[in-house]
Structure 1
């Protein structure tokens, strides 16, 4: 669906307009036929000839004329829509009376031209004309207001739908802008840390520095290939994470052992891009970096009904008992989840019974559209 720009709704295609016009013609014709049938059956029940032809001409001329006047009523409705009740009444009271009179005169003229005034004594012709005038005029005024109310209701519904569309588009654009801002906060942080590590290794261990540069190149390539995608397949996210862990293993040397346990049925799951990297970095920085002996990092994924469950365990130093579970650099990740999923996603940080920390991430499971 094309976006609505500047509050102007694009004109519908010609085929759509013709379809609506054909539907309107069928509607008004069926209405005339139903009135004709009702009038004929009423005459028969009263013991009079049904007069099908006269009834048909009368009703077709009535409703087809109103069909032709609908665009004018719609235009008058838009003219009187703004400005409150005073302007509304100032436009539609005289317009309704004038259009009703016009409709009545044209309709009676067409009817008498086709069918004639009918057989009746001359002395009753004046009273007949007066009766037809009063009845037709009253009905025409009432019909004008019915058409006006229906058209204004349809216009209000269309405007509400357009406003909802504009609101949804603005919310989507805002969410994308917020997501991009959050991602830009994450990427420079990681890059600065990696470049500092490469700088430290450049003289002490040139081979390891070149290895980190190669892994960083692979990681940046993956990032550029995904562009600004909000979500990617979990398989792609794991490929990105492997590059990141290769870099970290160079930094940790033989002090880091990693294990990836990714369920096969979760590889095509859609996940926010770079959602695991800050969680893994958090585990390394707060749990494993200060640990004197080698540490283990375990990353797993599984499907739990309609949810995707991601888990990151480390056997690091763990969280001090007096330290809160929040405020450990997970604010951006929580914000990204809130932007993309609202309350449907959750992020939990817990102390492991055997030491270390566990991070559990749950989000709606759906396959990524290729």
Structure 2
């Protein structure tokens, strides 16, 4: 019950509930023949005394007999014996309080406590203690579930972060190797192009190093990364690689997991344009339709090649699908197919423009 007393609002609601119970107890005494004044004076202090006694003791008893770790018989016995002891102590205090009031105001106070009243107090004490124990068990279970959810989110973020690092580790080496070879070749043939490519390469890696798995990026920023990548690859492929992006203005501010589109474009360049003799195009289209963001990434492929060659091993596509599923669940989808000499990847995900509460700290703050 410590969580109730940790907040003044919760404490006020708790005391208000016991005020109602105290007034109900006083009404029961008044109906049985005692006066209203004597009943209220007798019942209200005892109600608040029992509120704290039952609240604190029930909390620690529930902690000592946790659900799922103790047998039901042991839990019932532990809670029942404690409830009987606390209720008996409450009755003893009630009798003492009744005697004290009678001694302090013998002319105005009508003694309330009698054998039947004390017996009724004992039964009421058992019931109230049982309710306090039930509330505490609910609070403890809610806290446990919240803790498990926090752990699950932390594990999810750790997995996403590892996924992002693994994606970088997969993308960076061969891309860097090809880029450095191109820069080396251009150094003597076209120094200005070599310098331009070096700047693009540095900017690309600067952007990727600043990415974090628990921070979404806007579609515009993801496209900025893609454009740097394409600019570097265009030095290698020349006029054979063409790139176009058609983005709805309403879609530009939508949030994506980082490095979501770059692997798709990389696959399109490597397994599509790289297998062509003639020039080919990689195109990105993005549009927001209501609450859904739809993105289409397509590239030309060799009409005589196999579908497997067009899409490589498919690991990049599976990775994209898994990352979207981890964040948006069934609300996101990824489909790909080969159509009329082009390889097409279609993504649909919620059009989110504000950061999702993905960190454990943010979750606990809600």
TM bucket (normalised to shorter chain) is 0.7 to 0.9
Change beyond 3 A, Cα 1:73–1:156: same
Equivalent residues of 1:300, 1:311 under 8 A apart: yes
- Asked if 1:219 corresponds to 2:208, the answer is no
Q: CA RMSD in A?
A: 3.4
What is residue 3 of structure 1 aligned with on the other side? none
Unmatched runs of 5 consecutive residues or more in structure 1: 1-10, 120-124
Equivalent residues of 2:336, 2:344 under 8 A apart: yes
Within the candidate set 63, 67, 72, 1:78 is matched to 63
Within the candidate set 139, 142, 157, 1:157 is matched to 142
Within the candidate set 66, 75, 95, 1:108 is matched to 95
**For 2:144 and 2:96, how far apart are their aligned partners in 1?**
39
**For 2:223 and 2:132, how far apart are their aligned partners in 1?**
61
Equivalent residues of 1:54, 1:115 under 8 A apart: no
**For 2:4 and 2:44, how far apart are their aligned partners in 1?**
29
Within the candidate set 293, 305, 314, 2:299 is matched to 314
Within the candidate set 346, 350, 362, 1:364 is matched to 350
Change beyond 3 A, Cα 1:85–1:204: same
Change beyond 3 A, Cα 1:191–1:364: farther
Greater C-alpha radius of gyration: 1
Equivalent residues of 1:262, 1:301 under 8 A apart: yes
Deviation at 1:273, TM superposition (A): 2.2
Q: Name the count of aligned residue pairs.
A: 345
Deviation at 1:220, TM superposition (A): 2.0
What is residue 122 of structure 1 aligned with on the other side? none
Q: Deviations over 1:130-155 (max 9, x none)?
A: 44444443443444334333333333
Instruction: Give the match's secondary structure for 2:302.
Output: coil
TM superposition score normalised by structure 1:
0.78
**For 1:134 and 1:226, how far apart are their aligned partners in 2?**
69
Deviation at 1:109, TM superposition (A): 1.5
- Asked if 1:27 corresponds to 2:12, the answer is no
Instruction: Give the match's secondary structure for 2:276.
Output: coil
- Asked if 1:58 corresponds to 2:42, the answer is yes
Within the candidate set 133, 136, 139, 1:148 is matched to 133
**For 1:319 and 1:255, how far apart are their aligned partners in 2?**
18
Within the candidate set 36, 44, 52, 1:68 is matched to 52
